[in-house]
Chains A and B, each alone.
Chain A
C-alpha cells in the first residue's frame, strides 16, 4: 500500500473515530460498546508486543491487568490517591510482575510457556480471592463515587470515557509501532525467526525478551486502571479471568492479525460487538450462557481452520486491505 494512501486512510479513520461519539447518545449503549472495543483493542495491542513481536503466546496477561486494576483502586480506597497517580505504581507493579515471570519462563516455548503464563494468571486470581484484607476477596472492590470529572477519572456519561480510551489505544498503538521499527523490534523479530542465529550476531535474547515483556505488562496494568474507573466495580474472577481477559485479548490479536499494528484494532472491532450481541441475546436466559457461546465459538473457529486463526485473520486482512 502506498504510504500516502495509508496515511490518508489513517487520518480518515481517526477523524471518524473522533466524530463518531457525537452522533450517538452520550450515555448510550452503543457508545459503551465502543468504549469496550477501544479498551480491548488497546489490551490486545499490549499483548501483541509479547504475543506478536516476541512470538510468545501468553495466556496469563490477565495477571497484569488485574494487578493494575487492583493497584490503583486499592490506593484510591485506602489512601484516597487519585487514579491518575495510582496508575503509575500499578504500571510499575505490572512491569515488575512481567519481569518476575519472564525469568523462569525464558527458555520455554509453545505449550510450556502458555502453561506457565496460564498458571500465573490463575495464581493471581487465587491470591486476590483469598487475600480478602487487601482486595476485598471474592466480593470484589468498588471505586468510590465522587463528583465526576477528569481529575478523579470518573464520568457520568460515556463520551469522556470514549475519548480517554481512544487516547489510550492510540498511545499503546504508537508504542507498538515504535517498537516494531526500532532496534528492539528488529531484535525481537530475529529472536522469533531464529534464536540461535540471533544470539550469534550479538542479540541478547534474554534481555530483549524481558524488555518486551515488561513493556507489555506495564501497559496492560495501566489499562486495568482504565477498566476499574470505567466499570466502578470488579472482583478477582472478572479481572483475572482466563476466558474473559487472557484468552480474549490473545484471540483478538490473533484473529485480527497477530504481529501487525492494525491487527488488534480490527480484531476488537470484529469480535467485541459479536460477543456483546451474543450476550444480549442470551444473558437473560442464564449465567454462563454467553461464556459458553464464546467457548463454542472458539472451538468451532479452530476446528474450521486448525491451520490457524491466523489464516482467518490473514484472509480477513486481505479482504479489508484489498491491496
Chain B
C-alpha cells in the first residue's frame, strides 16, 4: 500500500478569508511591541483518529521574534517557537488522557499574514512509541506596531 494520498489545499480560501477578517478585528495595543513577544493562545478542537477522536484543549504558547538582518538588508525572518505542552487531549470514546510535550521552532519569511502548518505528536501514558500525529494550522498575522496574533486550528493531518 502506498500511504501517500492527495494533498489537501494548504488553507482553504474561504477559511483564510475568515481568518483575515478575524485578525482585522483584533484590537491593537497602545505601544509598539517588544520582541520577543509571547502569546498564549487557547485551543479547543477535535482531532479525528483511527482508533478514536481526541478533543484537545489548553493553551498553546507561541513566542515570536522578528530577526533583523542588520548587515545585509535581506528579507527579515520571523522566528516562531511553539510550545504545545500546555495542550492536552481526552479520548472521545475511552476518556483516556493524551499529552504532548512538543516544542517546535520555525523560521518563516516575515509576512503580514502567514498560514503556518506544523505537525506535532501526542500520546497517552508516556507511550512515546505509540505516539500519533496531529496538525496545527496557525494563521499568524504580523503588524509592526501590534506584533503578532494567532488563530489556531488543530486537525488530523492529511498528506
Q: Do A and B come from one complex?
A: no
| Interface residue ranges, A against B (CB under 8 Å) | none
| Interface residue ranges, B against A (CB under 8 Å) | none
